[in-house]
Amino acid sequence: MPKEIILPIIAADFESGTIESWSKKEGDAVAKGEVLLSVETDKAIIEIEAEHSGVLGKIMVAAGTEDVLVNAVIGLLLQEGESASDLDGLPNSVETQAGSTASELSPVLKEPQSISSQVAVSAGQNGAASGRIFASPLARRIAADLGVDLNGLTGRGPRGRILKADVELADSNGLVAVGDKSIFAASTVEPESGRTYSAIPHSNMRKTIARRLTESKRDVPHFYLSTDFQLDALLAVRRDFNARSPEGEEAYKLSVNDFIVKACAVAMRDVPEVNSSWTEEAIHQHHNVDISVAVATEGGLITPIVQDADSKGLVAISSQIKDLAARAREGKLKPAEFQGGGFTISNLGMYGTSNFSAIINPPQSCILAVGAGEQRAVVKDGELIIGTVMTCTLSSDHRSVNGDVAARFMQALKRYIEDPFYMVARQLL
């Protein structure tokens, strides 16, 4: 019997995703551990590896299909001794499985339910003759919430299936679907004022960010500490290090942010209480120093993680941040590269922002908001001089981090940033 390929649980809160692409074609040999397909979640494109070896006999969910539920059967794998004839009588695609139950088709599904509820059968262009409309379950749910009538909508999914984006576009009134893209049509007019606006439907990523930040601000008792850091010594060390960069593949260009990540990492070793997560049962104090770095992407903010930052050199940190940021913007991070972490850094200094307060990224206890380095008047040894000063604000969860702990962390951070010798030499001393 051909082996069923199911959509696995990628993350704890993962319920459905889009089949971004298949790495194999029907008839191709598949080795266990090989990348079989890529799935788009609300935050990244995840590569799924084959759990078994064999031959890809049938792709049942085509690339580009949205809202595919966890544990749905997405393909069939021929095992040793089996051939294409063993597929005879089996469904050719998810759409043709309507009316069969998941327990009949897939004994590994955790919750038996009809496959027709995964690929909802309701209206569309191709279902007009049978009086049915083809729509995804998420599209139907959103349509019910928004009061959108699915009749008459033309879907952009396989065989004209209505996707959630089609429903959102229909509801917005200011958007129309063209092929597989969405473009702005005439602006919507506000009835009372006569002013116009364009409605931009929320992406899954934007919805997830909104939900998590709302929960954080509402449920986490934030408190804030701001400290000024003089950057002149750090900038001098940075210039010297960059001037010594070799040519070719080993070339590097360190940023101020690279130094901040390293300084935070060693300060977290000095004050380990900030490297913690709050749970209702206990405070989890992490043994590894893993720092999340906020990266702005087209879909919203994502926080890839520099693991074991305290044990890495500046060049390694710099290289890893560049790689993580590039793949974050392409949506190609693996879950382990953006889920977890014990501390977050959000740097808006490059935009000229002097200072700001960031919202904690639960279940972490702290996030550091980094402002721009600015020329300011500084008193040193009784003399008034011009120095480069940066303001950072630490947001802390008062349930797991006390005020004196946060203050000690900022004190340690100030020492490492204002005298980088201690930061660089800490691993050697």
Instruction: Quote the CA–CA distance of 147 and 134 in Å, as a whole number.
Output: 17
DSSP 372-426: EEEEEEEEETTEEEEEEEEEEEEEEETTTS-HHHHHHHHHHHHHHHH-HHHHHHT
DSSP 121-161: B---GGGTTTT--BB-HHHHHHHHHHT---TTPPP-SGGG-
Q: Which long-range contacts (CB under 8 A, 24 or more apart) does 378-382 make?
A: 378/230
Using DSSP, state whether 208 is helix, strand or coil. helix
Element (H, E) at 370: strand 366-380
State the catalytic residues.
398
Residue 114 is classified by DSSP as B
DSSP 236-266: HHHHHHHHTPPSGGG-----HHHHHHHHHHH
Instruction: Quote the CA–CA distance of 376 and 112 in Å, as a whole number.
Output: 66
Burial 53-73 (b: 16+ CB within 10 A, else e): ebbbbbbbbeeebbbbbbbbb
First to last CA, the chain: 63
| β-bridge partners, 143 | none
| Phi, psi (deg, nearest 5) at residue 368 | -105, 120
Question: Which of 222, 213, 305 is closest to 261 using CA atoms?
Answer: 305
Q: How many CB atoms lie within 10 A of CB 99?
A: 9
Instruction: Quote the CA–CA distance of 206 and 241 in Å, as a whole number.
Output: 39
